[in-house]
Amino acid sequence: MRSKIYKGLIREVSKHICILTLIFLTLYPFSFLVVSSLKSHEDIIHNMVGLPQVIRWINYIVAWKKVNIYILNSIMMSGATVGMVIFLASYTGFIFARHKFPGREFLFYAIIALLMIPRELTLIPLFIIVRDLGLLNSRWGCIIPWTSGGLVFGIFIMRTFMASLPEEIFESARLDGANETQLYLKIALPLSVPIVIAVGIMHFVNTWNDIIWPLVTITREELKPVTIGLMSFQAIDPYAQNYGPLFAGYLLTSIPLIILFMFTMKYYIRGLLAGAIKM
Amino acid sequence: MLRPFSTLDQKGEKILSKRDSLLRLVCKNKFIYISLLPTFVLLIIFRYYPAFSALYHSLFEWRGVRTEQFVGFANFVEMFKDFEFQTSLKNIAIITVTRVMISLTFPLLAAELTFNLRNLRTQYVYRTMFVVPMVVPVIVTLLLWGFIYRPDGLLNAILEALGLGYLCRSWLGNFNTALPAIIFIGFPWIAGLGTFAYLIYLAGLQAIPESLFEASTLDGATRIQQIFSIDIPLLMGQIKLILILTIIVVVQSYYIQLVLTEGGPGYATMVPGLHMYYNTFSYFRMGYGCAVGTFLFAIIFTLTVINRRYIRSAVEFEAK
Amino acid sequence: MKGKWIVMVLVVVLAMSITPGWAQEKTMFGPEADLKGTISIYARSYTPLEPTAADRWPPPTYLWTIIEEYEKIHPNVHVKIIQGVASGEAVTWTQTRLVSGTAPEVCWGQSRSDVYVWARSGLLVAMDPYLNMPNPYIPGNKKWIDILDPSVIATIRAPDGKVYTINGDLVTTGILYNADIFKELGLTEPKIWADFMTVLGKIESAGHIIPMSFQGAEKDMGWTWLARFIYYPLYRPLMDKMDVIPEEKPGLVTRKEMALAWKKGIETITSDRFKTGVQLQKEFSQYWSPGFLGLTASMAYDQFVTGKAAMHLNGSWQIQAIKADPYRKFNWGMFPFPPITSETSPYASEPGVVKGLTLGGPSAGFQFNVPVSAKDEGLLEEAVDFLMFLTAPQNAGPLIADLGSYMPSIKGIEPPEELKAVFYKPGEAEFIDLKMLSPGYLNGPKEAIDLCYKTWQLFIGEQISTEQAVSQWNKDMDYIWNKMIQESEWDFSKYGVK
């Protein structure tokens, strides 16, 4: 009996040790980032691993002046595309899931086929199209292609989820005289909130992190989102880099995502689970 | 309970169409078609058309503005003969295999460890800490690792502190360490760099009914045995999904190399996507770039078709 | 009676109109001139900034002082400073403004490349007429051009023979070195390549410090700089054979002349002369930091300033950083690049007549052009007058010293004491660019240049042999020169080549 408890304790402790090691390895680079963001440039270069000789809060102020535009742009662009994707994907998925109409299967498989087309194949013609539409160097030049990309996965997910909802709910509502739009708005949508949030978060994060597309379409400084904005922040004066404010800038651009995750993690996990539970 | 397709599938349609003509059906459903229109317009303009345009233009010498010139398969021939491209193939194969192995092991390990904790609050805390790299924009992680790899950077400083000074080197500047260094970015590879694998596995584990565990414990199975007999089989759907998604993403990605090494030193970190990028946006050879893109598409398509069964099962059993 | 008066008046009027400039000079420029309007200036590196606590070193502020004084002299003129243009976007920004006719009236511009293009498109005002007038802000000055360095003027003269840029400073490059290490090992600043190799060797055998950190990851500041330092001494003896096109500024070997030399086969890549340069690079590289192909200029500098490397090749702008570093623990100095001499190779120039080499020249901060749009707005006189004021040594001197990155090229300015030791005295170092423009490959087709660069990386990283590298370069350089000839539409038929 005692050895069993003993064994159990060892197991638990070793689990914790393993996890803590992994967590330490995961977080150490970022703690380095935090510590370095409070140093002056020379302090970083001469004293890379140690604690700041002088704590420089001013780095954050200087960085903020530079990166607030980028953060604003990213929020606007990613927010817009997520809104569009959620709107379009949810009702499209609903239609595909719960209605019969000619060509439904064909159209749906056509959408799935798009999943297999890699981003890089379409990159060049997409660039030409966006250029010819005059959307280069504009936020919409990013938002619309992003939306079309997110729609594919989004419709796929929403359709699968909505198809799995029990028919009875809809039947009873139809009997009560509800029309299709009401079925969508009052039943399907509320039930799929966790999924919608999960899809929304994934799309938000993917577009927030997109490097290549903004890189080739946006060159005007005031429109740059976080990803390429930070690259140009670093390159402001290649002969006179200033890593302190640069690192502070990196951390500042993480804040929106931190906030997003803090508020939505619960729903996101629920969304991931919701799919699985429907076994 | 799984709602099978069958009540909504072809059979149902077939029965209907015997009575109503196709045209009447279309008219009846015109509201549906109209509401689907915006979506499909977007998809056609920004997804379908570019895809076909790329395949088409891969047969041309095209500079994006001036006139095109049909060259047949010349682009492809040139591509396969090009030393830079050949090296990029070798590199991307190495990268893909290793990163796939990584994405199937480390996040899963972390998910298992987190899942097996008794205290739910501790679970929550650890999970949050693991997920920290995901809130940092990918570009920041990249630039941070670029900094870590500097000859005077964090990695070398740590090695020296551990007395392993002889291992210090310019990680991204040496021909034999550049590619491994790129692959190593993100260590310990649990979250971040845009991958949701850890959370997906964790959710999958949490979805396993408690009853299964209870039953197997009663049968005398240890936790380790359970992992192999219960957890992994039931996570197959997620695992296969992560596998296919990782392959698709990694084979074509090049942003890490673009930001950190530009394919160098020499061609040590060149990958097909980067080859395409430079040829398109630095040298303005759009036709050739489309050829590289077409090639990547062929690779991904082949790999996906091979795994098609797995996608189907992942689709039917989970929402992810 | 009346007739005589009329004739006298006519004579006076005639005399006044026949002596152009005399009347104009009095009132057109200078403190007495009647100028009004608002002009803007884009001063790039000299743009004054408010210092913040996060700065690594104090930013320049002297331009504000100059403008203040100027506006006191001319109360009806207001000078506006353009702020906020990022250093890396300077050229694009300027180009866009010039093309759309909204450029600032006093506008920075990199001479010899962009300026020529802009001048050819008719976007800039030729400054020659004004350069031949006296500068009223300099007491005793007969012609404005007298205070400007003649070799600089020769270099920046555009292909059409006119001067579009008013140039006041020079950027220099050199080798920064750790004076304490040198003292410890009993070393002195090497004057020629052979000594340089000796010094490097001694530092290496001392063991605890890298002889030189080199920025192998930099296409421009690494690869091409190295090539220019090494090939210039080897090719200088051939300069007379190359400098054959009379329209192309005698005394300066231009890209066109180099293309011609290539076609004539005066020098080739497969020659021993070239291979000597290649070998010398290889020999040099053994003293560099390990993994130098991954070092950017910034990283290489960091290695130097933290004491890990004894020497570092960089530009004069780096002096600000090194002066301002509170953690630097050693004394430093800078010497120009020791040239290859006949002690090292028979292809190089004679011994004894050596000056240290420096890259750079009139592409620093004090290069100002006047756009044609200034004329249209009636602000041309204001712009030129301000430039005259700006270039007066009593103003330009403190301005250039305030920034502290560049060497003044205006006569009558003494560099500040602390920089004197660092900035070579005029004539002490040889500006490569004033004699031979950089080989054209930087302006050639990009894919070929990138290929040359990769070949170099593979070669110097010991992945391919000298023979392989040379044959690859031969192919690529041929392509580059031919492409350049084709695109610039140079006709060499009268020199006997196709």
Residues of B in contact with A195 (CB under 8 A): 319
Report the pLDDT value the prediction gives residue A4, as an integer from 0 to 100. 74
- pLDDT (tens digit per residue) in C414-439: 877 766 666 666 567 788 877 777 65
CA atoms within 13 A on the CB side of A30: 26
Nearest-neighbour CA in chain B from C17: distance (Å): 55
- Whether A41 is covered by a domain: the verdict is no
Q: Quick one: CA torsion of C78, C84, C89, C95, rounded to 10 degrees?
A: -30
Output the 3-class SS for chain B.
CCCCHHHHCHHHHHHHHHHCCHHHHHHHCHHHHHHHHHHHHHHHHHHHHHHHHHHHHCCEECCCCCCCEECCCHHHHHHHHCHHHHHHHHHHHHHHHHHHHHHHHHHHHHHHHHHCCCCHHHHHHHHHHHCHHHHCCHHHHHHHHHHHCCCCCHHHHHHHHCCCHHHCCCCCCCCCCHHHHHHHCCCCCCCECCECHHHHHHHHHHCCCHHHHHHHHHCCCCHHHHHHHHHHHHHHHHHHHHHHHHHHHHHHCCHHHHHHCCCCCCCCCCCHHHHHHHHHHCCCCHHHHHHHHHHHHHHHHHHHHHCHHHHHHHHHHCCC
pLDDT-derived band of residue C264, with 50, 70 and 90 as boundaries?
confident
C-chain residue closest to B285, CA distance? C447
- pLDDT (tens digit per residue) in C77-94: 999 999 878 777 788 888
> Peptide bond preceding B265: is omega within 30 degrees of 0, i.e. cis?
yes
Report the pLDDT value the prediction gives residue A79, as an integer from 0 to 100. 94
Q: Quick one: CA torsion of C356, C359, C365, C368, rounded to 10 degrees?
A: 110
Report the pLDDT value the prediction gives residue C176, as an integer from 0 to 100. 92
- Whether A248 is covered by a domain: the verdict is yes
Total length of chain C = 498
Q: Say if residues A89 and A154 touch (Cβ distance below 8 Å).
A: yes
Token digits of residue C476: 């690529």
- Whether A30 is covered by a domain: the verdict is no
Report the pLDDT value the prediction gives residue A50, as an integer from 0 to 100. 84
Does B144 sit within 8 Å of A99, measured CB to CB?
no
C-chain residue closest to A58, CA distance? C54
Query: Which of B77-91, B165-179, B208-222, C125-139 is predicted with the least confidence, judged by mean pLDDT?
Result: B208-222
pLDDT, average across residues C302-330: 90
Question: Which sign, positive or negative, has the C-alpha torsion B54, B55, B56, B57?
Answer: positive
Radius of gyration of chain A (CA): 24
- Whether A33 is covered by a domain: the verdict is no
Token digits of residue B258: 């673009």
Token digits of residue A147: 């939306």
3-state secondary structure of A185: helix
Query: Which of A11-15, B24-28, B208-212, B292-296 is predicted with the least confidence, judged by mean pLDDT?
Result: B24-28
Residues of C in contact with A242 (CB under 8 A): 54-56
Report the pLDDT value the prediction gives residue B94, as an integer from 0 to 100. 94
DSSP sequence for C295-319: --HHHHHHHHHTTSEEEEEEETTHH
Residues of C in contact with B279 (CB under 8 A): 447
pLDDT-derived band of residue C20, with 50, 70 and 90 as boundaries?
low
pLDDT-derived band of residue C498, with 50, 70 and 90 as boundaries?
low
3-state secondary structure of C102: coil
Strand order of the sheet with strand C367-369?
A: C77-81, C37-42, C106-108, C367-369, C166-167
Residues of A in contact with B12 (CB under 8 A): 100
- pLDDT (tens digit per residue) in C61-71: 999 999 999 99
pLDDT-derived band of residue B15, with 50, 70 and 90 as boundaries?
very low
Q: What is the pTM of this model?
A: 0.84
Query: Which of C231-235, C242-246, C477-481 is predicted with the least confidence, judged by mean pLDDT?
Result: C242-246
Q: A217-222: long-range contacts at Cβ-Cβ below 8 A with a sequence spacing of 24 or more? A: A217/A127, A217/A130, A217/A135, A217/A136, A217/A137, A217/A141, A217/A142, A218/A136, A218/A137, A218/A138, A218/A141, A218/A142, A219/A137, A220/A137, A221/A69, A221/C86, A221/C89, A222/A69, A222/A73
3-state secondary structure of A189: helix
Q: DSSP letter for C288, please.
A: B
Phi and psi at residue B208, to the nearest 5°: -70, 130
Beta-bridge mates of residue C148: C410
Parallel, antiparallel, or unpaired for β C166-167 and C106-108?
unpaired
Name the residue range of residue A97's domain: 57-278
Report the pLDDT value the prediction gives residue C372, as an integer from 0 to 100. 92
Query: Which chains lie within 8 Å of chain B at 3 or more CB pairs, if any?
Result: A, C
Q: What is the C-alpha to C-alpha distance for residues B203 and A116, in angstroms, rounded to an integer? A: 25
- pLDDT (tens digit per residue) in C191-204: 889 999 999 999 99
CA atoms within 13 A on the CB side of B206: 22
Q: Is the pLDDT of residue A239 over 80?
A: no
Q: Is the pLDDT of residue C16 over 80?
A: no
Question: Which sign, positive or negative, has the C-alpha torsion B312, B313, B316, B318?
Answer: negative
CATH class as words, domain C37-170+363-412: alpha beta
Q: In sequence order, which ranges of C265-391 are alpha helices (DSSP H)? A: 272-285, 297-305, 318-324, 372-376, 380-391
Q: What is the C-alpha to C-alpha distance for residues B184 and C74, in angstroms, rounded to an integer? A: 64
- Whether A23 is covered by a domain: the verdict is no
Name the CATH architecture for the domain at B75-319: Orthogonal Bundle (1.10)
Query: Which of A108-112, B97-101, B123-127, C7-11 is predicted with the least confidence, judged by mean pLDDT?
Result: C7-11
Report the pLDDT value the prediction gives residue B316, as an integer from 0 to 100. 47
Query: Which of B92-106, C14-28, C244-258, C288-302 is predicted with the least confidence, judged by mean pLDDT?
Result: C14-28
B-chain residue closest to C301, CA distance? B152
- pLDDT (tens digit per residue) in C25-45: 446 788 888 888 899 999 988
From residue B33, give the alpha-carbon distance in Å to each of A112, B23, B38, C11, C467.
18, 13, 10, 93, 67
Token digits of residue A239: 């002969």
Amino acid at C476: D
pLDDT, average across residues C455-466: 90
pLDDT-derived band of residue A161, with 50, 70 and 90 as boundaries?
confident
**Position with higher pLDDT, B192 vs B129:** B129
The residues spanned by each domain of chain C are: 37-170+363-412, 173-359+426-495
Average pLDDT, chain C: 85
**Position with higher pLDDT, C33 vs C393:** C393
- Whether A16 is covered by a domain: the verdict is no
pLDDT-derived band of residue C15, with 50, 70 and 90 as boundaries?
low
Mutation target among B149, B170, B259 for the C interface, most CBs of C within 10 A = B170
Q: Is the pLDDT of residue A142 over 50?
A: yes
Token digits of residue A178: 């509800």
Q: What is the C-alpha to C-alpha distance for residues A147 and A88, in angstroms, rounded to an integer? A: 9
From residue C110, give the alpha-carbon distance in Å to each of B140, C49, C148, C167, C438.
34, 22, 17, 10, 15
Phi and psi at residue C25, to the nearest 5°: -55, -40
Q: What is the C-alpha to C-alpha distance for residues B116 and B231, in angstroms, rounded to an integer? A: 11
Q: Is the pLDDT of residue C210 over 60?
A: yes
3-state secondary structure of A187: helix
Q: What is the C-alpha to C-alpha distance for residues B213 and A11, in angstroms, rounded to an integer? A: 18
Parallel, antiparallel, or unpaired for β C37-42 and C106-108?
parallel
Q: In sequence order, which ranges of C157-306 are alpha helices (DSSP H)? A: 179-184, 193-206, 225-235, 239-242, 255-264, 272-285, 297-305
How many domains, chain A? 1
Report the pLDDT value the prediction gives residue C427, as an integer from 0 to 100. 65
For residue B180, what are the contacts with CB-CB under 8 A and spacing of at least 6?
none
pLDDT, average across residues A200-223: 89
Q: Provide CATH code, domain C173-359+426-495.
A: 3.40.190.10
Report the pLDDT value the prediction gives residue C439, as an integer from 0 to 100. 59
3-state secondary structure of A30: helix
Report the pLDDT value the prediction gives residue C485, as an integer from 0 to 100. 82
pLDDT, average across residues A45-54: 87
Q: What is the C-alpha to C-alpha distance for residues C248 and C416, in angstroms, rounded to an integer? A: 36
Q: In degrees, to the nearest 5, what angle opens at C-alpha B157 toward C-alphas B156 and B162?
A: 95
CATH of the domain at A253: 1.10.3720.10
Q: B227-231: long-range contacts at Cβ-Cβ below 8 A with a sequence spacing of 24 or more? A: B227/B112, B231/B112, B231/B205
Q: Say if residues C308 and C229 touch (Cβ distance below 8 Å).
A: no
Could you tell me the end-to-end alpha-carbon distance of chain C, in angstroms, rounded to an integer? Answer: 76
Q: Say if residues B67 and B297 touch (Cβ distance below 8 Å).
A: no
Q: Name residues 89-108 of chain A within 8 A of B (Cβ).
A: 89, 91-92, 95, 97-102, 104-105, 107
Whether C296 and chain B come into contact, CB under 8 Å, resolves to: no
pLDDT, average across residues A176-182: 76
Give the range with max mean pLDDT: A242-246, B28-32, B261-265: A242-246
- pLDDT (tens digit per residue) in C138-165: 988 889 999 988 878 887 887 778 899 9
Nearest-neighbour CA in chain A from C196: distance (Å): 26
Report the pLDDT value the prediction gives residue C19, as an integer from 0 to 100. 57
Report the pLDDT value the prediction gives residue B6, as an integer from 0 to 100. 42
Output the 3-class SS for C120-166.
HCCCECCCHHHHCCCCCCCCCCCCHHHHECHHHHHHHCCCCCCCCCE
Q: What is the C-alpha to C-alpha distance for residues C363 and C156, in angstroms, rounded to an integer? A: 10
- pLDDT (tens digit per residue) in C350-384: 665 678 888 877 778 899 999 999 888 889 999 99
C231: nearest Cα among C315, C340, C313: C340
Count CB-CB contacts under 10 A for residue A101: 19
Does A236 sit within 8 Å of C298, measured CB to CB?
no
Report the pLDDT value the prediction gives residue B7, as an integer from 0 to 100. 43
Q: What is the C-alpha to C-alpha distance for residues C215 and B287, in angstroms, rounded to an integer? A: 35
Report the pLDDT value the prediction gives residue A193, as an integer from 0 to 100. 86
Count CB-CB contacts under 10 A for residue C240: 9
Report the pLDDT value the prediction gives residue C17, as an integer from 0 to 100. 63
Cβ contacts below 8 Å, chain B against chain C, sum to 69
Nearest-neighbour CA in chain B from C243: distance (Å): 32
Residues of A in contact with C328 (CB under 8 A): 42, 46
pLDDT-derived band of residue B262, with 50, 70 and 90 as boundaries?
confident
Report the pLDDT value the prediction gives residue B320, as an integer from 0 to 100. 38
Among C87, C325, C328, beta carbon nearest to A237: C87
Average pLDDT, chain B: 82
Report the pLDDT value the prediction gives residue C425, as an integer from 0 to 100. 62
Could you tell me the end-to-end alpha-carbon distance of chain B, in angstroms, rounded to an integer? Answer: 17
Beta-bridge mates of residue C41: C81, C106
Q: DSSP letter for A135, please.
A: -
Q: Is the pLDDT of residue C174 over 70?
A: yes
Q: Is the pLDDT of residue B5 over 50?
A: no
Q: Is the pLDDT of residue B116 over 70?
A: yes
Count CB-CB contacts under 10 A for residue C100: 9
Among A27, A33, A120, beta carbon nearest to B252: A120
Give the range with max mean pLDDT: A80-89, B193-202, C228-237, C259-268: A80-89
Report the pLDDT value the prediction gives residue A59, as an integer from 0 to 100. 92
Q: Say if residues A77 and A207 touch (Cβ distance below 8 Å).
A: yes
The residues spanned by each domain of chain B are: 7-41, 75-319
Q: What is the C-alpha to C-alpha distance for residues A113 and B305, in angstroms, rounded to an integer? A: 11
Whole-complex ipTM: 0.83
pLDDT, average across residues A74-81: 94
Report the pLDDT value the prediction gives residue B104, as an integer from 0 to 100. 87
C235: nearest Cα among C223, C253, C255: C253
Q: What is the C-alpha to C-alpha distance for residues B95 and B101, in angstroms, rounded to an integer? A: 10
Q: Is the pLDDT of residue C403 over 70?
A: yes
Q: Is the pLDDT of residue B17 over 70?
A: no
Share of chain C above pLDDT 90, in %: 29
Whether C305 and chain A come into contact, CB under 8 Å, resolves to: yes
